[in-house]
Amino acid sequence: MSGNRKPWRLSLPSHMKLLIAFLLIFSPLAVTHVAEASGAETTLNSKLLGQFLQKHCFRCHGAQEQNGSARFDTLDYAISNKVEALHYQDVLDVLNGGDMPPEDEPQPSNAELEVVIGELTEGLFKARKRLASNGGKVVMRRLNRREYAATIRHLFGFEPPRQRVPPDDDVVNFDTVGSRQFFTTAHFDEYYGLAQEVLREGFKWAGVREAVQIRVEQPENFWNRSFRNNLKSWKGQTGKVVRLSKMREKYLARPMVKSGVYLDEPLRHLSFGPAVDPRGSYRIRVTAGVEGEVAPFRRFIKLNIGQDVLAILHIDGTPEDPTESVVEIPRPALLGRRLGGRVSEDRTGAWLSHYLNFLERTGEIKKGGAKSQGLIWIDSFSVEGPFYPEGRSFFDALLCPAEPSSEQRSTIVWSDANARELIERFTWEAFRRRDPAPEYIDELASYFQKQRDKGKAFQAAMVDTLAVVMASPGFLYLNEEAISDSDSRMLAPREIAIRVACFLTSGPPDEQLYRAVESGAMSNRDAFHREVDRLLEGPKSRRFAAALARQWADFTRLDGISVSDKKYPAYTSGLRHSMKQEVIAFFHTLIEQNLSVSNLIKSDFATVNAQLAVHYGIPGVTTNEFKPVTLPADSPRGGYLTQGAFLVAGSNGERTSPAVRGMLLMSRFLNSPPAPPPPNVPELGSDVDGPTTNRKLVELHQTRAQCASCHRKMDTIGLALENFDLLGRHREVEMVWRDKVPVLISGSMPGGKPFNSLSEFQATMLEHDEDLARNMVESLLVYAMGRDIEFTDELHIKSIMTQLRPDGFRMKDMIHAVASSPLFLQN
Amino acid sequence: MSTIVTDPVSRRSLLRQGAYCLAMPFLDSIARAAPAASVPKRMIFLGGGYGFTDAYHEKGNSFFPSETGRFSSIGLSSGMKLLERHQEDLTMVSNLTNPGVGNPHGGSEGYLNCGSYREHEAAISCDQLAARTIGKDTRFTSLVLTAREPIPGQGAGHGSGYSLSADDRGRSLPGIPSPLQLYRTLFAQKGDSPEQLLERLDNRQSILDLVRIDSSTVRRTLAHEDAVKLDEYFTSIREIETSLKREEQWATRPKMEPPFEEPGAGLTGEKEIRLMLDMLVLALQTDMTRIASYRLPVCSLITSLGINLSPHTLSHYGSSPSARAASETRDRKLMELFAWFLDRLKETKDKDGRRLYDSCIVSYGSNLRAGHGLQSLPALLSGGGTERIKHGRHIILPKENTSLANYWLTLLQQAGIETPQFHYSTDAVTELLS
């Protein structure tokens, strides 16, 4: 703090401030001293703000008068504590709301206001971040949803349904940030109840090994017969059934009803629901073909499990020569339920006829085309399984050590006599191999005995006892021991292993990682990196890529965009699923092949399935998997910027939103997130008369100073992507009412460099690849550490950047650099 | 008795059973629990999510009246039209602002305690404050009702927090999130004999004792900051214990027999809201509680109205006429439900044969007026429990951004709670009183 500066003081209760909206007071008689100071000060541009305040505010809030008890002529334009930040926030709020200067006073020009609001907004945004600092300490946290599920999978071999796990609170950037978690009475009850269910399921499957079974469905047996029966029973009736009968007659007159079903009215979808072992994976096989001519994007069927899309299958064949597609269901997340799924055409609209009509109306298929469109025909589908993973789960092997077979169930070897040992061994593993206090185990054992004395069965009593363990802090919290050596602050090897495992696998360490801890390998640099590589290998790395990608790319925003199916019938739930999978596969490729992070701006490959290839207009892709394919040199695709998930998220569901796209670009690609929208700025509304181009709409946004201060930057770069429509399809023209207006790409970066096409824009963005790399390093750090970046991390982040720069910021190197950074290994 | 309503979902109202309930003998046992206070006051706070549709630049109508005066002369806006039959029993106040909220997506954040981002000032919500006195003699000191929205708090317009209510340290209370859970809370369940109940409570206490042993072990090893975090866990354990003690005191007095069959687990939107409010009326009528807050699931209500727009998109209704129309549809539906709830309170008689409505203070609102606007929030008031507030008017307070805390203070005082101040309050809203 500067020497001659007086602290802010309040003479009225601070809560009065907003009551009169403007109550900054600076009285020497004030009593409240501001003691908190984090040592970090954010300075505002004193010249700029000073001039403005002098011109517009001093007369009423200066040395002579202090209207509303606010005085500005003695400010020092520095924010060093939360109360000061609040005071500047009040000034900003008043300017944003247009409440000051009063109407009868001379008004500042728009340009003046824009600069001042911009400076205050950015300054406060920075100051808040600094003030939130707690010295780089990782705050202990409980397992988030993802980690809880993975921990259950580690212990029991199956996962609870996601929505059953208590949700993560207030995820701002990553779900690992502990300081944003809370624990309430409801959490305790939910965790305890869920643990009981999980344990019952665990007992149910202990020692069981099922033989692989194939269940083949010939859907025509049920459906086509029931349609025939409908016709019989409705014969001679009048009213609604006449229409329904006609529909069935038409359906049954199709050529291939003897051997299959058509996904046409009256049939919407096929259901399947075999009882399954949730520890195994299953294979679903669908044999289908397309009858007649269809638009290329209609060659896809969707496989659902509950509400979740499991896969999108491309149907190449015909009813005469059908396509057989195979999909693997990796261990279904179920608790005591059947595996319920659906097979349907991937489309919108309640009925196929609605969908086709919408397609015709929006020009997705040609006029009159709805009548001539063909149909998808399903011959059969089958469910095969269970296929068990290698090795049995911890709980299964603990309860029934002998290896089971499909003929011989293995039995539980525990009884009342050795119950204490069972409790102890379970607790040790559940507590991530930390020794529980003997007293705790004693009390658990006597609780178990009490339940038995009351007449509860062994299993029921054990479920209730072990559920206590799974509702205890030793299980729910990633608790790390306080570090006694204040110099090194280095974590113990076991705790490093847990952090690494949570970072890369979302769950507890596996057997091999625990062994590495015991053998002392965690402190050997090479061995440590080998472990990181091992955890990133194979199918597990895809899970990591998914967890990172869905948060970095903010799928929650994408899911929140509601697109009208009347206006955009092509935006199916399957297409949205494919768009997300593309991002995950893209991240996976970057990690697996150790590619530069700059591929997110522009890449010469895309990770698309057949559906997206059709959507994007990439020729020659027929697979259902998302694998990297090389793009033609003149393709506008390549890079996250050109992916559907990004482009749809950058819309408001009715048209593209250059503001949102620009905001996302600034946050991720320029690592300079704009401040969140201020309250009380009036809606723009539709000031415009009649339809207009997106560019015109955006320019309107900038006529108001309160908006322009942030939007000028965001909107300009967001407009660079106008060659992609709301759904991410490439376009040269924009529809304005019924006119086609050419899309104009022209703008400049915040900093000045102009661009006049998408590729020029990408080239400019590539010059900023340091910003993107830094954003990815910071993202990985937040994700891995479970805390926000603080200004004290600067040195370590710089050293990571220096380490990665020579090779162009490769993704796998980046993960290694983060995992071995002192930021991650210390506390 | 469980056959009175076989399918509670399809029944639009439980009013009919409500009438049956009145004659039922169990009421006596409930009534014994209540002290012999003259007429108990009851407070109900409803709210949630984004506010309503304002005029702004649109030529369209605003939900909010612009004139001050009696509704009978200034009329009701089209959004409020469905409240017409209650217009003499309705007060609307303009120019109130929640001083503690700066989040433009935080319609329910710190709504009843007027504080969120000013953490150091956040404290108990007004319903919980009222519960300490008004609620101390009933089975439930208060009912905190909420809903699980399909999308998280910010997008749904609620902001952070689990419900409208907060404890004495300003922490959001979890709330009862579904009709099914409320049903199980209010009504007697199988195996609810006093002995069984006491045994269950005892079992629960044993579990808490067990986890406390591990908590203490873990705590000893932690760094200071982490130990503070673990205190959340300890606190929640303590809170459960407090509620166990209360349940113990009430264990010998049986809960009400369920008046209808258990509702399904997956109810959402309008059905969910009606069922929650119906059970709330029943809880008030039988004096199980006198204080309630309910964070309405506006998000799933929108979906149940067939509107395919996220609440956030809907809140920016300025972008298109169709979004605006949908936003107005939501407003009307919310008012229809509010009007229906007032009907229920008027039709239902308490144990002394008085209208439930006459002893109630019912508030409906949100921190957000419309869009991202936090100033002049929507504040609707009804109920005969406010003797000094004469309903039937729209009042525009002379001072812009009058603290919402002043308003809560006024309502608390009307409910007979003698407190000179509520958090940020400077004074009662005298314009309301006559």
Average pLDDT for chain A: 87
Burial class (CB in 10 A: 0-12, 13-18, 19+), A729: middle
* pLDDT at position B32: 38
| Res. B146: pLDDT tops 50 | yes
Express each pLDDT in B367-382 by its tens digit: 999 888 888 999 999 9
A 417-446 near B (Cβ less than 8 A): 436-437, 439-440, 443-444
The answer to whether the CB atoms of B426 and A16 lie below 8 A apart is yes
Q: B293 in the Ramachandran plot: left (φ > 0), alpha (ψ -120 to 50) or beta?
A: beta
Q: What is the CATH number of domain B15-188+255-432?
A: 3.40.720
Express each pLDDT in A652-662 by its tens digit: 888 899 989 99
Mean pLDDT of A509-529: 90
The answer to whether the CB atoms of A472 and B155 lie below 8 A apart is no
* pLDDT at position B38: 64
* pLDDT at position A446: 97
Residue B200: which residues within 8 A CB-CB, separation 6 or more? Answer: none
Are the beta carbons of A605 and A589 closer than 8 angstroms?
A: yes
* Strand extents, DSSP E, A278-404: 281-291, 300-305, 308-314, 323-329, 341-345, 375-387
| Res. B433: pLDDT tops 50 | yes
Mean pLDDT of A531-556: 90
Could you give phi then psi for residue A796, rounded to 5 degrees?
-65, -40
* pLDDT at position B72: 95
* pLDDT at position A180: 76
* pLDDT at position A789: 87
With cut-offs at 50, 70 and 90, classify the pLDDT of residue B117.
Answer: very low
| Res. A514: pLDDT tops 50 | yes
Q: Is residue B23 within 8 angstroms of chain A, CB to CB?
A: no
With cut-offs at 50, 70 and 90, classify the pLDDT of residue B56.
Answer: low
Give which of B128, B185, B218, B315 to mutate to test A binding, by max A Cβ within 10 Å.
B218
| Res. B35: pLDDT tops 80 | no
Average pLDDT for chain B: 84
Are the beta carbons of B302 and B274 closer than 8 angstroms?
A: no
The closest alpha carbon to A86, from A161, A156, A5, A32, belongs to A32
With cut-offs at 50, 70 and 90, classify the pLDDT of residue A709.
Answer: confident
Helical segments of A178-258, H only = 185-205, 219-234, 240-252
Mean pLDDT of B402-420: 92
What whole-number distance in Å separates Cα of residue A96 and Cα of residue B152? 27
With cut-offs at 50, 70 and 90, classify the pLDDT of residue A322.
Answer: very high
List C-alpha distances in Å: B385 to A135, A383, A432, B289.
52, 63, 56, 15
With cut-offs at 50, 70 and 90, classify the pLDDT of residue A120.
Answer: confident
Are the beta carbons of B316 and B244 closer than 8 angstroms?
A: no
| Res. A92: pLDDT tops 90 | no
Express each pLDDT in B297-352 by its tens digit: 988 899 889 888 888 888 888 767 888 889 999 999 999 999 999 999 999 998 88
What whole-number distance in Å separates Cα of residue B232 and Cα of residue A185? 9
> For chain B, which residues make up each domain, given as ranges?
15-188+255-432, 193-253
Q: B68 in the Ramachandran plot: left (φ > 0), alpha (ψ -120 to 50) or beta?
A: beta
Which residues, in sequence order, are bridge partners of residue A606? A629
Token duo for residue A224:
């086509």
How many CB atoms within 10 Å of residue A437?
Answer: 16
Report the share of chain B in percent with pLDDT over 70: 88
Mean pLDDT of A146-160: 95
| Res. A129: pLDDT tops 80 | no
Pairing of strands B90-94, B393-396: parallel
Which range is least confidently modeled, A34-38, A209-213, A401-405, B359-363? A34-38
List C-alpha distances in Å: A772 to A184, A813, B276.
38, 15, 49
* pLDDT at position B122: 62
The closest alpha carbon to A85, from A29, A36, A135, A21, belongs to A36
Token duo for residue B63:
């939900």
What whole-number distance in Å separates Cα of residue B243 and Cα of residue B248? 9
Mean pLDDT of A633-655: 93
What whole-number distance in Å separates Cα of residue B309 and Cα of residue B303? 8
Burial class (CB in 10 A: 0-12, 13-18, 19+), B172: buried
Which residues, in sequence order, are bridge partners of residue A61? A66
- How far is the alpha carbon of A784 from chain B, nearest alpha carbon, in Å? 18
| Res. B145: pLDDT tops 90 | yes
Report chain A residues whose CB lies below 8 A from the CB of B308: 562, 564-565
Tokens 């979906």, residue?
A: B303
List C-alpha distances in Å: A535 to A239, A243, A517, A531, B77.
65, 59, 14, 6, 62
The answer to whether the CB atoms of A15 and B211 lie below 8 A apart is no
Token duo for residue A751:
């900093």
What whole-number distance in Å separates Cα of residue B221 and Cα of residue B219? 5
Longest dimension (CA), chain A: 99
* pLDDT at position A486: 66
* pLDDT at position A33: 33
- How far is the alpha carbon of A695 from chain B, nearest alpha carbon, in Å? 15
Higher pLDDT, A169 or A446: A446
- How many residues would you count in chain A? 827
Give the nearest partner residue to B99 out of A19, A171, A680, using CB atoms. Answer: A19
| Res. A17: pLDDT tops 50 | no
What's the CA angle centered on B47, arms B45 and B48, to 5 degrees? Answer: 150
With cut-offs at 50, 70 and 90, classify the pLDDT of residue B26.
Answer: very low
How many CB atoms within 10 Å of residue B266?
Answer: 9
Sign of the dihedral through C-alpha B362, B367, B371, B376: positive
Higher pLDDT, A179 or B236: B236
Mean pLDDT of B126-155: 89
Mean pLDDT of A8-34: 33
* pLDDT at position A5: 36
Mean pLDDT of A230-236: 92
What whole-number distance in Å separates Cα of residue A40 and Cα of residue A18? 27
List C-alpha distances in Å: B69 to B65, B66, B72, B90.
10, 10, 8, 12
Mean pLDDT of B24-48: 60
Give the nearest partner residue to B223 out of A185, A439, A482, using CB atoms. Answer: A482
Higher pLDDT, A556 or A402: A402
What's the N-to-C CA distance of chain B in angstroms? 46
What's the N-to-C CA distance of chain A in angstroms? 29
Express each pLDDT in A765-783 by its tens digit: 999 999 999 999 999 999 9
* pLDDT at position A59: 79
Q: Is residue A233 within 8 angstroms of chain B, CB to CB?
A: no
The answer to whether the CB atoms of A21 and B401 lie below 8 A apart is yes
The closest alpha carbon to A201, from A111, A295, A276, A105, belongs to A276
List C-alpha distances in Å: A119 to A126, A672, B12.
11, 14, 55
Higher pLDDT, A256 or B189: A256
Are the beta carbons of A490 and A825 closer than 8 angstroms?
A: yes
How many CB atoms within 10 Å of residue A172?
Answer: 10
| Res. A542: pLDDT tops 70 | yes
Which range is least confidently modeled, A32-36, A387-391, A440-444? A32-36
What whole-number distance in Å separates Cα of residue A178 and Cα of residue A337? 33
Mean pLDDT of A324-342: 84
The answer to whether the CB atoms of A679 and B103 lie below 8 A apart is yes
What whole-number distance in Å separates Cα of residue B78 and Cα of residue B126? 31
Are the beta carbons of B406 and A18 closer than 8 angstroms?
A: no
Token duo for residue A154:
């580690």
What whole-number distance in Å separates Cα of residue A812 and Cα of residue A594? 5
Q: What is the CATH number of domain A213-387?
A: 2.60.120
Mean pLDDT of B234-257: 89
How many CB atoms within 10 Å of residue B109?
Answer: 26
Q: Is residue B191 within 8 angstroms of chain A, CB to CB?
A: no
Mean pLDDT of A52-61: 83
Which range is least confidently modeled, A154-163, B245-254, B406-415? B245-254
Residue B425: which residues within 8 A CB-CB, separation 6 or more? Answer: B403, B405, B406, B408, B409
What whole-number distance in Å separates Cα of residue A385 and Cα of residue A329? 10
The answer to whether the CB atoms of A15 and B233 lie below 8 A apart is no
With cut-offs at 50, 70 and 90, classify the pLDDT of residue A4.
Answer: very low
Mean pLDDT of A158-176: 85
With cut-offs at 50, 70 and 90, classify the pLDDT of residue B412.
Answer: very high
Are the beta carbons of B270 and B333 closer than 8 angstroms?
A: yes
The closest alpha carbon to B367, from B103, B64, B93, belongs to B103
Give which of A686, A707, A785 to mutate to test B binding, by max B Cβ within 10 Å.
A686
Q: State the helix-helix crossing angle for A419-430 and A458-469, rounded to 10 degrees.
A: 30
Burial class (CB in 10 A: 0-12, 13-18, 19+), A286: buried
Report chain B residues whose CB lies below 8 A from the CB of A169: 160
Which range is least confidently modeled, A7-21, A30-44, A112-126, B114-128? A7-21
The strand order across the sheet containing B291-295 reads: B69-70, B393-396, B90-94, B379-382, B360-365, B42-47, B291-295, B143-145
Token duo for residue A46:
């004193």
Are the beta carbons of A201 and A156 closer than 8 angstroms?
A: yes
The answer to whether the CB atoms of A560 and B375 lie below 8 A apart is no
List C-alpha distances in Å: A415 to A137, A393, A462, A465, A467.
45, 20, 10, 14, 18
> For chain A, which residues make up each domain, given as ranges?
14-131, 139-209+396-479, 213-387, 554-649, 653-767, 770-825
